[in-house]
Amino acid sequence: MTAKRPSAEDRIRELRTAIRHHDYLYHVKDAPEISDDAYDVLFRELKSLEAKHPELVTPDSPTQRVGGQVFDRFPSMEHAAPMLSLDSDKEASALRRFDERLRKALGNSISYVVEPKFDGASVEIVYEEGRLVRAATRGNGRVGEGITENVRTIRAVPLTLRSAERKAPAFLSVRGEVMISIAAFEKLNEQLLAGEREPFANPRNAAAGGLRQLDPRVSARRPLEVLVYDILAATPLDVATQSEALNALRQWGFPTTDMAVQTSDVDAILTYHEDLHARRDDLEYEIDGVVIKLDDLALRDEVGATSHHPRWAYAHKFPPRKEVTRVMTIFPSVGRTGVVTPVAMLRPVELGGVTVSRASLHNREEVARKDIREGDLVRVQRAGDVIPQVVERVAEPGRKRGKRFAMPSKCPSCGSKVLERGPFTVCPNSFECSSQLAGRLYHFGSREALEIEGLGEETAKRLVHEGLVHALADLFDLEVDAVMRLEGFANKSAENLVNAIKAASDTELARFLLGLGVPEVGVAVARDLAAYFKTINAVMAASVDELTQVPGVGSKMAEQIAGFFGNRRNRATIHDLLDGRVNIAPIEATDTQLLDGLTIVFTGGLERFSRRQAQELVQLHGARATSSVSKETDYVVEGTDAGSKADKARALGVSILSEEEFVAFLREKGIEP
């Protein structure tokens, strides 16, 4: 047996090399050299040899794409770099404004790479020393769910990077879109229907569901594919443009789009958009627009990003798909914020690969303006190809119409008298309205708020509708036996939920503020309020004038925030939560006031930290980290390849610090970087 091992080891090595080569030709080059049967012969031989010599099996072997381990839950994984969403619009004028902003900031000598906007599930895939080590969903953009074993099952994903044409970096994080082709999707649904199972609504849902299977073998049976389009992080990074990055990705073995183009002209982008839209139904994959990115990676660092999206990229969306169907009934629906929305129940219609049976009518003024009634024939569309909306009524001469729809005078959920705020009808009962409470409960446990694992939308609804939660504070009094009475819960899952709730009871002020669902308060505003006021009591007691002193809070926003905390019922809910149920970690003055009142801008590349790490460090100690230079800026920290921000700082007389001076400045303030 010992004498045979070298030949077996050599043959295994040869087979793995050959299979990886043919995978690359098939999935990346779309130019296979051998038939599927010949490929299967190679694969079976490798599998047989590894079965005889299990000690020679390695994690990156092509046979190890389908693991046998079934997971209880997905682990959380922090991304190597933020996976931000894109600012988008379907109007050409919005694209021109995007271009004008960049040219104003960077000058006219800029170039773009334009690519299709694929409609799939975004993932991060990470390699160390050329081997796939982890993969994660996008999640909240900073932390996703670990789906490494599921991504391994996708044949187009290289388990080992190619280095024949370009040396693979020691560390590489890439972003891609996991999808199912339209042809494979239709075949998958045919198989489901043949087995009397529910078909998928669209390819995106099928792909996303395939990625989030606790059993990787289920993922392997889904016809998942991937296209990689960005380098999130690399050490070393030896490309300077997006065009070079796409070429490098192909050389390392990743499938990339062959429809990317380079241009400096907005009119050329619009022509590309129109051409792709005209060919949309003939393409292999679902797309919902085009993505425009700055080609120069250094210029991307120069313009930076907001907390939600990069300033160097933009999505020019396609017009939404439209179809005609009939309104069966109209009913008022109460959302998390108390807005009562008229919803039309429709005769089901296929709309862009999705079966639509209900659509929003927005508000009472829209219903009146469009004069939509039960029984009407209407044209519907998916706004942003996501949310179904009724666009207009289709005239039917001679057909008798139903009665005009009128919004209710009382909340259909709790019976409270509704209020009219502009065009909106609102239930003021906040946390005591069951429909609002279910939505608020789900929001309270969301990832950006208290992050309660297992408290999904359906679970939140069941907790309220089954009478286990009558107020937000009741969530923290839940016991395992009570949760087990809910449909779909057994002892273990009930224990997990109760334990997750207990773990979430120790939280931060910013998360708590966000979880309360205060009007106008998103992630960034919640952080600003927490940094400025330090305690929940101070936030609750703040006047409108005091609130407007918080950076980023205007007068209208301040009125909404003050109104929320001035509401007697809302205050009672907060007091109940803080009465031995939720503990908000104090913000120590020494941790937050050392840089209070300072505004700092970072430009260029830093060696000691990433730009985000530097921004978060100064924010932690009370400073504002902004992306633009103004007279109010106190310091600009200048890294390598700094551009116009440093020039503007000099012109305005703003103090400029090198990275070494910045580190010394922090230490002088008592902050160890």
Is 117 one of the annotated active-site residues of the chain?
Answer: yes
DSSP 610-671: -HHHHHHHHHHTT-EEESS--TT--EEEE-BT--HHHHHHHHHT-EEEEHHHHHHHHHHTT-
Give the CA distances from residue 62 to residues 237, 314, 468, 571, in Å, rounded to whole numbers and listed in that order.
Answer: 27, 37, 50, 59
Distance CA 399, CA 649 (A): 68
CA distance 217 to 213: 8
CB 249 within 8 A of CB 228: yes
Query: Can you spell out the DSSP letters for 34-75?
Result: S-HHHHHHHHHHHHHHHHH-GGG--TTSGGGGS-----SSPP
- Residue 135's φ and ψ, nearest 5 degrees, are -150, 150
Measured CA to CA, the distance from residue 464 to residue 461 in angstroms comes to 5
Q: What is the dihedral of CA 368, 370, 372, 378, to 10 degrees?
A: -170
Of residues 458, 436, 417, the one with CA closest to residue 570: 436
* The 3-state secondary structure of 175-210, one letter per residue: EEEEECCHHHHHHHHHHHHHCCCCCCCCHHHHHHHH
What is the C-alpha separation between 146 and 75, in angstroms, rounded? 5
Largest CA distance in the chain: 91
Q: Which amino acid, residue 538?
A: A
> CB of 199 within 8 A of CB of 192?
yes
Cβ pair 308, 140 in contact under 8 A: no
Give the up-direction half-sphere exposure of residue 528: CA atoms within 13 A in the CB hemisphere. Answer: 20
**234 near 173, Cβ under 8 Å?**
yes
Q: Are strands 339-351 and 121-128 parallel, antiparallel or unpaired?
A: unpaired
Q: What are phi and psi of 425, to 5 degrees?
A: -105, 130
277 and 318 Cβ atoms separated by less than 8 Å: yes
- For residue 119, the surrounding DSSP H or E stretch is none
List 90, 117, 317, 648, catalytic entry: 117
Beta bridge partners of 603: 638
What residue has token string 């045919």? 190
Q: Cα Rg for the chain, rounded, in angstroms?
A: 28
What value, to the nearest 5°, has the Cα angle with vertex 121 and ends 201 and 268?
A: 100
Contact 289, 91 (CB under 8 A): no
Token pair for 237: 């990074």
Q: How far apart are CA 466 and CA 337, in angstroms?
A: 21
Q: How far apart are CA 145 and CA 73, in angstroms?
A: 9
- CB-CB contact of 377 with 393 (8 Å): yes
Kindly list the catalytic residues. 117
